[in-house]
């Protein structure tokens, strides 16, 4: 991990960004083109098939009303990670198929994070921070700030809960078998984004809430949720028509 200059006691000097090099060589963006959409869905399918032991539906009904985020390795121009953000104002969350969503999370502006997938070669190594994971979460927080989100919801396997707690999520104590992921037990977690979304409380606050980062790209105008999938399907239909 690259770091900024220090004051001799290991602390970064004021005005310096100690995480300037953390996501170097990567780009994080909201998908709005067919090639990136196809690549991100391939990553999701491969990762989740290995995770749950059987193929999952890709894309699914929730993609029709969600934003799709991607992490790209610039040197290879390869999509190496992806995440889905679903706003609740377009319809119920995926988790509501399995949980009775608490009332407070059904009020205000709420989003659900699902289908978080990173290729194995680009996951955390013992000697470094998880750059792809952190970059995707930074992009998701930028998106949540843009839409003025109140709540962020995620359903997590037990082995990932501590990571989400580290990011400010709280456990609801609601646990059930997740039918869309081979019945694996998941717990519902929530994040008070209005209270915690600045990340001033976090050890990585300068990464999550500080400097703007050119490699983390949020467009001035967000595309319509699900627009990427409509374009992808239209492109396939057009290609099939041209081939006939």
Residue 208: strand pairing partners: none
Q: Tell me the domains of the chain and their CATH numbers.
A: 26-213 (3.40.630.30)
Q: Which pTM was predicted?
A: 0.88
C-alpha 244/C-alpha 236 separation (Å) is: 12
Our measurement of the distance from residue 99's CA atom to the centroid of its chain's CA atoms, rounded to an integer in Å, reads 21
C-alpha 138/C-alpha 209 separation (Å) is: 8
Q: How many CB atoms lie under 10 A from the CB of residue 47?
A: 20
Q: Between 131 and 56, where is the model more confident?
A: 131
What pLDDT is stored for residue 182 in this prediction?
75
pLDDT tens readout for residues 142-164: 999 999 999 999 999 999 999 99
What pLDDT is stored for residue 4 in this prediction?
36
Which of 14-18, 67-71, 121-125 ranks highest by mean pLDDT?
A: 67-71
Per-residue pLDDT at 239 exceeds 90: no
Cα–Cα nearest to 232, from 36, 16, 46: 36
C-alpha 41/C-alpha 58 separation (Å) is: 7
C-alpha 147/C-alpha 186 separation (Å) is: 27
Per-residue pLDDT at 12 exceeds 60: no
What pLDDT is stored for residue 126 in this prediction?
65
Per-residue pLDDT at 48 exceeds 70: yes
What pLDDT is stored for residue 184 in this prediction?
85
What pLDDT is stored for residue 54 in this prediction?
75
Region 229-239: what's the mean pLDDT? 79
H and E: helices and strands count for the chain:
6, 8
pLDDT tens readout for residues 163-213: 999 999 999 999 999 877 778 899 999 999 999 999 999 999 889 987 788
Per-residue pLDDT at 32 exceeds 50: yes
pLDDT tens readout for residues 56-111: 899 999 999 999 999 999 999 999 999 999 999 999 999 999 999 999 999 999 99
Question: What's the half-sphere exposure (Cβ side, CA atoms, 13 Å) at 166?
Answer: 10
**CA angle (11, 218, 225) in 5-degree steps:** 135
């Amino acid at each position: 991990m690259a770091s900024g200059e220090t004051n001799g006691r290991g602390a970064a000097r004021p005005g310096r960004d100690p995480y300037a090099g953390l996501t170097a060589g990567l780009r994080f963006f909201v998908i709005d083109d067919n090639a990136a959409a196809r690549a991100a869905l391939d990553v999701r399918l491969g990762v989740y098939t290995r995770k749950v032991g059987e193929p999952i539906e890709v894309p699914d009904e929730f993609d029709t009303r969600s934003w799709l985020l991607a992490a790209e390795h610039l040197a290879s121009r390869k999509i190496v990670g992806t995440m889905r953000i679903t706003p609740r104002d377009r319809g119920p969350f995926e988790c509501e198929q399995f949980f009775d969503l608490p009332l407070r999370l059904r009020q205000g502006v709420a989003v659900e994070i699902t289908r978080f997938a990173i290729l194995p070669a680009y996951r955390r190594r013992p000697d470094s921070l998880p750059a792809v994971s952190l970059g995707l979460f930074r992009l998701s927080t930028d998106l949540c700030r843009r839409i003025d989100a109140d709540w962020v919801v995620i359903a997590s396997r037990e082995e990932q809960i501590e990571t989400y707690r580290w990011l400010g999520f709280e456990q609801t104590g609601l646990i059930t078998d997740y039918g869309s992921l081979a019945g694996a037990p998941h717990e519902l977690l929530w994040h008070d984004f209005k209270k915690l979304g600045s990340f001033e409380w976090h050890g990585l606050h300068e990464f999550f809430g500080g400097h703007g980062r050119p490699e983390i790209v949020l467009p001035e105008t967000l595309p319509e949720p699900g627009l990427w999938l409509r374009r992808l399907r239209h492109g396939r239909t057009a290609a099939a028509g041209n081939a006939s």
